[in-house]
Structure 1
Amino acid sequence: MVQLRTVLFASLSASVVLAAPLHKRIDQITSDGPAAWATACTTNGGGSKCGDIKQQAAATLLAAGKNCDQQDAADAMVDLSKTLKNNTDMIRLAQLFVQQPRNAPEKLQVPYCQKAPKNKELNGLFHCQFSGSDFTKFSGDQTGNLPLGVKAVNPPGSCPAKKDGPVPDGVQLNTLVTDPGVGSAGEPTVDPAAAAAPADNAAVAAPVAGAKPFTLQNGKDAQALNKKFATLTADTACTTGDDGCINGQFAQCVGGKFAVTGCAGGTKCFALPLVNKAGTSITCSTDADATSRIANTGATGGITGA
């Protein structure tokens, strides 16, 4: 009888061990994410709207959130901030919120949003990852493995506000940094040695009537690049580090040969004019947006100037 009881106890103990929960994702207290913004909002007279946006924003940090839900919530934060005398602290906290890591299912990296934000204050910003993530894999359908317009995230898991690497598991970014990593024009100040420059993602370029001295030239330079890209193939000789577009896909020269990466969501690769400074960017966009952004510089002849 003693032996039988011993065997039975051992079996039950084994069952308990096997039933122990497996830690398959990285969680956080999601309500903490937008809490600082909501406090600033209430202080500045936002009323009940502050709590409503806080609740919606917190839900976007859950693993079930869609790729652009967090950015949409940050846009709502900035929208309300602008009605409250363009409160700079609220906008800063919204810029930090959009970079807060989301809950990571299966401890995989969480994919990035593939559309431009509504507000220019969020241009070029994307979420960090939690440090316990598997930096070789992403969750989801693999269409958001790079932030919009960014060629590489280096070091993995970093973001403009925290350029040195990912956020410790479960920690709120706004407790680690106060600077969201953007310039006065709303463009990210990413170290070019650490990551490729994000695209200038203004929704609509400045009209010609208010053009800056470099605006037209930016348009012409983008057209020249697009015309050049139209002649490239995967077999075209190149110099390591060169970037371009091949058949609508982003191309990067590695070891003297182009490696191509497809754009997400029905977009194509284009050279586009920057808006707030001289230069161009190579990014994924729609035909209509690319045509509009080049035309708004005053350059004629469409995407290639033909």
Structure 2
Amino acid sequence: MPLDHVPGLHGLPVHVFPQPGAAARPLPEAGTVAWKLVSGLRTDEEDFDEHWRRFLDTVDPAGVRALVLGGGAYGGDMDGCSPGETAELLARAADRLTGLQALYLADLTFEEAELSWIVQGDVSPVLQAYPRLRELAVRGSTDGFGGGSGLEFAPISHDGLRVLRFENGGLPAQVLHGLAASELPALEHLDIWLGDESYGRTATVGDLAPVLDGSGLPALRRLGLQNADIQDEVAAAVASAPVVARLTALHLGRGILTDAGAEALLAGQPLTHLAELDLHHHYLSDPMAERVRQALEPYGVRIDLSGRPELDEYEGRYVAAGE
């Protein structure tokens, strides 16, 4: 399943900040769009640092509500900044981007950079620089196949964050350790892509225990534990997880969910209180998919069972986003 560019963020449509020399057109008001910055192509006239400075000098930075960083800030087929350099740019601009509420780091597609090669670093300093941030999404993890530096999430206290998403093909366990040690009392929506061990996943179901307990995330109502090569194990843990009783949405799609995982869900605690259960990209048999529907749809649960892949003769089952 290919990764697409994000069409919007924080309820705002994405608008690409123009390159120098682009045809002059009126720019939208600063707070009406999610601004996307992408530069650093070898054919571009400016590197990302220059692109960033021109953005801050052109758009009213205090009015910017949502920001999407693409190639140039995070490499791909471009001459990009390191994760630390990008975090430093963001931190230095915090006194100008005073209205920033949402941030998406590394909006790159497979055509621009394979997911396992989108390099991230410690994203906690960004949250420290923006205490009013409500939404943070991070795409990418390591420098490929789990080697070298990669995504980190140092323990942090943040009273404003409502949405936190990690999209990657291999989640390091220490990200979950940092999350468990953090204080995020307002967090309502947590979406974690665990990924595939072959592409750097070291996180295990055991590392998810503090999330599944839920006591450290009192406001959590929407939970995604997706894109896992251990999706059946995740489903079995979710089946008895205390946090599930207060969720309105549960997303367990994108991974290698089989009849065994679905059986564990059906045999566990009731899920009839959910508004939605997302299992898209799954490997359930037709009879099991029907059992899930019959168990939950009469209670008004919206179920997504779309996107069942054909079994690959050589690779077998696979997660939606790995390499």
* TM-score, normalisation: structure 1: 0.34
- Who wins on radius of gyration, i.e. which is larger? 1
Q: Which of the pair has the greater relative contact order for Cα pairs under 8 Å at 6+ separation?
A: 1
Q: Greater share of helix residues, 1 or 2?
A: 1
* TM-score, normalisation: structure 2: 0.33
